Chains A and B, each alone.
Chain A
Amino acid sequence: MALHGKGLLLAALMCSAAPAMAQQRVLTFNSNASDPAPRAMFEQLAADFMAEHPEIRVEINTFDHEGFKTAIRNFLTADPPDLITWFAGNRMKPFVDAGQLLDVSDVWEENGLKDSLGSTLSSMTFDDRQWGVPYTYYQWGIYYNKEAYAAAGVEPATDWEGFIANCAAFQEAGIDCLTTGSKALWPVAGIFDYLSLRTNGYDWHMQLTNGEIPWTDDSVRAVFAEWEKILPYTTANHAAIDWQDAVANIVQGRAAHYVMGNFAVAAFRDGGMTDETLGFMAFPTINPDIPRAEEAPTDSLHIPAGAKNPDDAKLFLAYIARPDVQTRINEALGQLPVNAEASVGDDPFLQAGFELLSTAEGGIAQFFDRDAPAEMAKAAMEGFQEFMVRPERLDTILERLERQRQRIYAAAE
């Protein structure tokens, strides 16, 4: 009787333990996708993953997009989750250097990702190892108002001289040729990146962001010389407004061009622009001898070094690298899949972006604040903004940046 009772107890224990055991394979995922569309995308992604792997439960903690950038440093050391969203290039380097991220080269190797995700391989690699898996990127370029072109009576130009000539026409029509909102600094880095890629090329640009070229060099001055040509046609007071406020300038036809990332298309459409009025073009050619390079910041997933469930996390990384999954993710996000075998959505701007990036023989840059170390990015972007407002201070700005370069890159070694 006593034995029987014990057996019952054991059976009861087993019963209650079994579901608990099944639930123990939990993947905690800290996400920075606080905007509605990306947030819904990740929730759907987790649900699809769980449908394929019923034994794993994915728990998503969504952080505010900006707040995530500071929170990550706390939770990586204090309470590391199994998966995190982050960015490619130099933005992940501090965490790689500090040993906070897990080497996921085996995921790349086993799934043949070096071929299918080849376009971003270099931006995910440090010390010949890969530290995360990219799931989306988006092109930068020039978005323009076609009605503004009609008002000024000109046609879009593909070369720099033509672009500047158009700018003069826009000015006569009372329209700002180029608009931007530099309160948060980063939008001006996009302009600099393109001027730099078009004037001196991709390799030079990478050398500059790697700290191998002095900021006082003549090649740097050449970039700023090109920039100075369009400054008179750029929206005044850009330093006081956010990038969304500058979107309004385009929507209302007060400005013609905006150097921006593809995420701005949603804002243009919210403002009432349609595919008939909103145009997209590549940044005009400045030096025709330089192969065309483009800019496409990549978002990626990583596994913290202190993850409690790294095996299932690697399973998840392999899952999001799959072409069909990347197709679905990027349909939901309205962005471009990194996997070359995935298909691109029907959206005309996505198609244009895909065309632009897949034909960029010069190379694909991340973005100034992802290619350069954070401190250099901050100092340089402030310098860009100051140059746009006070171009006569160029010498002082470049000398300051050069001092920063010598300190920052020396400290990094």
Chain B
Amino acid sequence: MTALPDPQAPTAPRKRSRRRSLTPWLFLAPGMAMFAVYVLIPIVQSIWISFHDWDGLGQMRWIGTANYSELWWDDAFYTSLRNNVIWLVLYMLAVPLGLMIALFLNQTVRGIRIYKSLFFFPFVISQVVVGLIFSWFYAPGFGLFYALIEWITGSGVAILADERYVTYGIIAAGLWPQIAYCMILYLTGLNAVAPDQIEAARLDGAKGWRMLWHVVLPQLRPATFIAVVVTVIGALRSFDLVSIMTSGGPFGSSRVLSYYMYEQALSEYGYRMGYGAAIAVVLFGIMMIFISGFIWKMWRDEKGL
């Protein structure tokens, strides 16, 4: 009787442990396959194409790093890069502004839900519509903003035709929905702020800034993290507004890297797949800096738990 379980004893746990080590991989397999097909392989392909001269139709021709050395001397590339940096910096304004509006709206007044949804409205409408609305707003002749400037200073400024202001004009249009997005993130975050801590802080005499900085904001850290992440990503992929409002113009001064990539690789006068891919690789590198930072932070937080 005792001899029976003996031969099975060593194999059963081994089988079970093998099953235990295999099962997670099986569950992960569909996701990993999708991730490989739609993310990893295209990244490798892009890098591969960036070493070629290719019009998308004919033969690919290996040219080594010629695309990258051309980028190095390309003024349009630096204009796009500079605009990307301006986008990143100014887009960050959406986070504090969103917080401000969220704090302002986080009160119980009659009809506050209507105000909240009105403030959230710009995020609901499509970026294309936002771009159109702002192009009309800036339009020389009949645009409200143009008329306003003309009324104040005597001569109007066509924001989208002036290389000095065009990028800022587009960023302002982008901030409108982005602030609403950050606001909604903070509004949900504010719901989770513990009222007893506020109460305790109030008893200790904390008010205004000190209350916000030392009591409320630390509790909003998850919301802030998400808000920063979506804003950084939003700034780096700021494509639709540039495309709708200026098509990169006037004479390429409002291009960002993603738009320049599209223009070179896929637009009417482009079809330099290799060069477009090289721009994409650079943009990918820039994004990787931020993405690795975020992943590192998340990994650290999870380990801390």
Q: Which residues of A contact B70 (CB under 8 A)?
A: 407
Given contacts A240-B161, A241-B139, A378-B270, contact A183 B246 (CB under 8 A): yes
- Which residue on A lies nearest to B169, using beta carbons? A240
A94 contacts B271, C-beta separation under 8 Å? yes
A70 CA / B271 CA spacing, docked (Å): 10
Indicate whether A322 reaches chain B with its CB closer than 8 angstroms: no
Given contacts A73-B57, A94-B55, A389-B161, contact A375 B249 (CB under 8 A): no
**Provided the pairs A94-B57, A239-B250 are in contact, do residues A73 and B161 lie with their beta carbons within 8 angstroms?**
no
In whole angstroms, what is the CA distance A407 to B66 when docked?
A: 11
In the complex, the answer to whether B249 meets A183 with C-beta atoms within 8 Å is yes
B75 touches A375 (CB 8 A): no
Contact of B284 with A by CB under 8 A: no
A114 surroundings in chain B (CB, below 8 A): none
Let me know if A374 and B269 touch, CB within 8 A: yes
Most buried by B among A185, A237, A378, A382: A237
Q: Are A237 and B158 in contact (CB under 8 A)?
A: yes
B271, A377: Cβ atoms closer than 8 Å: no
Which one, A95-103, A268-276, A313-321, A334-342, is touching chain B?
A95-103
B160 at the A interface (CB under 8 A):
yes
B163, B251, B272: residue with the most chain A Cβ atoms closer than 10 Å: B251
B140 interface residue per 8 A CB criterion:
yes
Contact of A378 with B269 in the complex, beta carbons under 8 Å:
yes
From known contacts A185-B249, A240-B138, infer whether A98 and B161 are also in contact, taking CB-CB under 8 Å: no
Give the residues in chain B near A1, CB-CB below 8 Å: none
B127 CB within 8 Å of chain A: no
- The complex places the Cα of A236 from the Cα of B158 at a distance, in Å, of 9
The answer to whether B57 and A100 have CB atoms under 8 Å apart is yes
In the complex with contacts A382-B252, A385-B250, A69-B268 CB distance below 8 A: yes
The answer to whether B266 has its CB under 8 Å from any CB of chain A is yes
Contact A240 B57 (CB under 8 A): no
Whether B251 contacts A385 by the Cβ 8 Å rule is yes
Q: For the complex, what is the distance from the CA of A374 to the CA of B263, rounded to whole Å?
A: 12
Which A residues are in CB contact (< 8 Å) with B246? 183
Residues of A within 8 A of B160 (CB): 239-240
CA distance A165 to B163 in the complex (A): 31
Contact A98 B57 (CB under 8 A): yes
**Hey, which chain A residues are within 8 Å of B57, CB to CB?**
73, 76-77, 94-95, 98, 100
- Are B250 and A389 within 8 A (Cβ)? yes
Contact of B75 among A237, A400, A411 (CB under 8 A): A400
B-chain residues with CB within 8 Å of residue A407 when the two chains form the complex: 70
* Min C-beta distance of B143 to chain A, whole Å: 9
Residues of A within 8 A of B268 (CB): 66, 69-70, 374
Q: Of A66, A70, A97, A182, which contacts B266 at CB under 8 A? A: A70
Q: Is the CB of B58 within 8 A of A375?
A: no
User: Which residue of the partner chain B has the closest CB to A386?
Assistant: B251
Residues of B within 8 A of A374 (CB): 268-271
CB distance from B170 to the nearest CB of A (A): 12
Q: Residues of B contacting A182 with CB < 8 Å?
A: 249-250
Q: Which residue of A lies closest to B156 (CB)?
A: A237
Q: Are B58 and A240 in contact (CB under 8 A)?
A: no
A97 pairs with B58, CB closer than 8 A: yes
The one of A98, A237, A383 that contacts B58, using a Cβ cutoff of 8 Å:
A98
> How far apart sit A100 and B56, CA to CA, in the bound complex (Å)?
12
Please give the distance in Å from B65's CB to the nearest CB on chain A. 15
Interface string of A40-79 (1 = CB under 8 A from B): 0000000000000000000000000010011001001100
Given A237-B161, A239-B161, A385-B251, A73-B139 contact (CB < 8 Å): no
Question: Is A402 interfacial (CB 8 A cutoff)?
Answer: no
Q: How far is the CB of B59 from chain A (nearest CB, A)?
A: 9
Q: For B269, give its contact among A77, A183, A377, A389 (CB under 8 Å).
A: A377
Chain B residues within 8 Å of A100, by CB: 57
Determine the residue in chain A with the shortest Cβ distance to B252.
A382
- Encode A391-413 as 1/0 by CB contact (under 8 A) with B: 00000000010000001000100
Query: Which residues from chain A contact B267 at a C-beta distance below 8 Å?
Result: 70
Q: Taking each of B53, B58, B138, which has the highest tally of chain A beta carbons within 10 Å of its own beta carbon?
A: B58
**A184 at the binding interface (Cβ < 8 Å):** yes
Which residues of B (247-305) have their CB < 8 Å from a CB of A? 247, 249-252, 263, 266-272
Which of chain B's residues has its CB closest to A376's CB? B269
Let me know if A328 is at the binding interface, CB within 8 A: no
Which residues of chain A (103-152) have a CB below 8 Å from chain B? none
Complex-state Cα separation, A398 to B163, whole angstroms = 19
Q: Which of B75, B140, B272 contacts A240 (CB 8 A)?
A: B140
Q: Roughly how many angstroms separate A378 CA and B250 CA in the complex, as a whole number? A: 13
Chain B residues whose C-beta falls within 8 Å of the C-beta of A375 in the assembled complex? 269-270, 272
Q: Known contacts being A70-B268, A374-B269, A375-B272, is A382 close to B75, with CB within 8 Å?
A: no
| Bound: A374/B266 CA distance, A | 12
Cα separation A376 to B159 with both chains bound (whole Å): 28
Closest 8 CB pairs of A and B: A378-B269, A240-B161, A239-B250, A386-B251, A237-B158, A239-B161, A98-B57, A237-B140
A-B contact pairs, 14 of them (CB 8 A): A70-B268, A73-B271, A76-B57, A77-B57, A94-B55, A95-B57, A183-B249, A185-B249, A239-B158, A239-B251, A240-B140, A240-B159, A240-B250, A241-B140
Q: Interface of A with B (CB < 8 Å)?
A: 66, 69-70, 73, 76-77, 94-95, 97-98, 100, 182-185, 236-241, 369, 374-375, 377-378, 382-383, 385-386, 389, 400, 407, 411
